[in-house]
Each structure stands twice: as C-alpha cells, then as structure tokens.
Amino acid sequence: MGKTLMGLAAGAAVLALGVGAADAQDKMKVGFVYVGPVSDHGYSYQHDQGRLAVEKELGDKVTTTFVENVPEGADAERVIEQLASSGHKLIFTTSFGFMNPTLKVAQRHPDVKFEHATGYKRAANVATYSARFYEGRTVIGQIAGKMTKSNIIGYIGSFPIPEVVSGINAFTLAMREVNPKAEVRVVWVNSWYDPGKEAEAAKALIDQGADVISLHTDSPAAIQVAQERGLYVFGQSSDMTRFGPKAHLTAIVDDWRSYYVDRVKAALDGTWKSQDTWGGFKDHMLFLAPYNPALPADIVAAAEKTRTDIMEGKRHSFQGPVKDQSGKVVIPEGKSATDEQILKMDWYVEGVQGKVPK
C-alpha cells in the first residue's frame, strides 16, 4: 500500500508540474473564502458582489478565485492553505469562524496578505474588517417604531453573538425613542440561513401580535410571510423587495465593494498594511435599500435625517442615556458606547423581551 501510494504520488507530481507550468501569470491572484453559497442572495452573495467589483475595476491586474460553502471546522484551514500555496497573494476570509485557521496559515506564509471579516485577531499580514451594521439598525428601528400599530415588533435572530445583540439593541433604542410603548420580541433560530425555520419564527411572532418584523438571518422567507399576512418587514444583507413588494420597507445591505477594491489596490501598489477597519454608512460599507413607496413621506424624511446624522457623526447609535433591562444606566447621558462595549455586548436594553441566551 505504501509503495503504491509513493509511486502514485511520484507519477502525480510529474503530471502536476506539467499541468501547472502552463499557468504562470502576471496578474495577482486574489482569493475569497465563503462560509455559505454565493447563491444565498444574502451574506455570501454580498461578499461575492465585492469580488465582482474587484474584477470589474481591476480585472486587468488581478484574477480572483473563490471557494464557497467552506465549513468553519478543520476544512477551513486546508482551503485557506491551498489558496496561499497556489500563488494567491491576498486572501479574504469572510466569516468569523475562519479566524484561527486564517492566523495559522498566515504564520506559515508571511508573504501572503489576509483579510478576515468580523474577527478580532490581527498579525503583520492579517487585517480585520467589518461593517457597523448596527448603524443601519438605528434607522430601521426608528421606522419600525413609527409604523407599528400593535407596538410589538418581532425580531428573528440567528445566534446570540454581540453583532446580533448590538443590532437588536440599536434597533430597540431608536424604536423606543419615537415610540416608548413598543417592545421587541426575539426568537432565535440558531442558524444563519434556514428558510423553513425563519418562516416559522416569523409566523410565531406575528401570531403573538407583532406587525413589523426585523431579522438578522439571511433568507427572504420572513419577507414572504409578512407579505402574505399584510404586514411589514425589513430585509437583511441584500435588497429583498421582490419577495414582498408591499411588505418590504427597506433593508440593510452589506456593501463590501469599495473596501475590497481599496484593499486590492493597496496590495497591488505595495501600500497594504495590517489594520482594523470597522466602517459604517460614511465608509460606504453598508447602505439602505430603496424605501418602500408606501412609506409616508415624513417617516422617510426622518429616517434619512437619522442616517445622515449618523454618517456625519452627529448621532451615535448608542448615545446615552442607555438603560439595560433592569433599569440600570449602562451608558450615561452625554456619552456614547465605546467600540469595545459594542463588540462585547451581551445584554439587552430596556424594551426587549426575554434574556440573551447564555
């Protein structure tokens, strides 16, 4: 068995060299690793839109490769390693579960640059990046507060991680500001993408009286449920209007395009440095999908003002006073939450039903 394998490997090596030699390129190779399918029309899809933007703008200088549906366990390191070993000079790993595998591979390949999304560990050749999605939550929370008649908002959560919890909180704070009687009910589906579960969660929340739905999961299932029941919903990760034209008020759309193009350019002209980027509206890392034409003009105007205020730094999603569910003031008046507080958020603000699953 050993001898055959060795012989096979030797023969294969010769073959591999023969086929590989023909692929020598001048263009820089850029790799992308996705945790889900590109076709999810949500999170991974938006990352791929970033990749396509890179191809469109810099296609004469780079070629891109992507691997989709990479599980976050032991397989991730192998895929990243394979990209690094096959000539890719810049690799984007787009899910937080890829953090440690990225660092392990980065250690072995100091000449390759890595960009890890939504993580917190860096190295000389590993940068991190994410978007301040919670800024978008503030805007839609405000709209929700004004549009709800039952004063119950349903929130479909994926996993109780700080990114989702801070989103719930930002949403609730803005909602209560315009409607102190409204409350948010959260249901966790323990998955980023499960249309069946998300639809069931939406129905359960609606049956409990919610008339506006917000979600932090990636499929358009809840949009369809809201449309069917004549209620309102906000899309997530991408514009989901076509799944519920009457129900879809707006959506938070991830936008990695300008960031990816910038970073690839930096890698090309040698100015790339490891850094942490956490960009919001003003850095073009997220935007809101077009508002539903049925939204009253004054609500749209107020939403736009909130958005521009955030963009210009006049308003912070977590500006004090912010009270937690017990009534204790966590962020005093006049102050705003620090980045670290937001990154570690694992408690709810006043107005959210239930407790954060721990």
Query: Which residues between 230 and 249 bind other proteins (CB under 8 A)?
Result: 242-243
283 binds other proteins (CB under 8 A): no
**Minimum Å distance from CB 233 to other proteins?**
14
57 residue type, one letter: E
Distance CA 193, CA 180 (A): 32
**Of the two residues 47 and 307, which places its CB atom closer to other proteins in the complex?**
47
Q: Which stretch binds other proteins (CB under 8 A): 34-42, 54-62, 109-117, 247-255?
A: 34-42
Asked if residue 168 binds other proteins (CB under 8 A), the reply is: no
Of 47-55, 139-147, 203-211, 260-268, the window that binds other proteins (rule: CB under 8 A) is 203-211
The H-assigned helical ranges of the chain are: 2-21, 43-58, 74-85, 99-108, 133-147, 162-178, 195-207, 221-229, 257-268, 297-311, 339-343
107 binds other proteins (CB under 8 A): no
By CB under 8 A, how many residues form the interface with other proteins? 77
Nearer to other proteins, 142 or 238 (CB): 238
- Contact flag: residue 151 with other proteins (CB under 8 A): no
Q: Kindly write out the interface string for residues 206-235 of this chain, putting x where it contacts other proteins by CB under 8 A and - elsewhere.
A: -xx----------xxx--x---x-------
From 69-77, 123-131, 256-264, 289-297, span contacting other proteins (CB under 8 A): 69-77
CB atoms under 10 Å from CB of 40, counted, come to: 21
Phi and psi based region of residue 36 (left: phi greater than 0; alpha: psi -120 to 50; beta: remaining) = beta
**190 belongs to the binding site for other proteins (CB under 8 A):** yes
Q: Which tokens go with 56?
A: 């469109």
CA angle (17, 22, 24) in 5-degree steps: 100
- Which residue do the tokens 């990225």 mark? 102
105 scored as a contact of other proteins (CB under 8 A): no
- Does residue 339 bind other proteins (CB under 8 A)? no
Written as one string, the DSSP assignment of 67-124 is E-S--SSHHHHHHHHHHHHTTEEEEEE-SGGGHHHHHHHHHH-TTSEEEEET----BT
In the DSSP assignment, the letter for residue 356 is: -
| CB closer to other proteins out of 84 and 139 | 84
Residue 72 near other proteins by CB under 8 A: yes
Q: Does 338 bind other proteins (CB under 8 A)?
A: no
Asked if 357 interacts with other proteins (CB under 8 A), we say yes
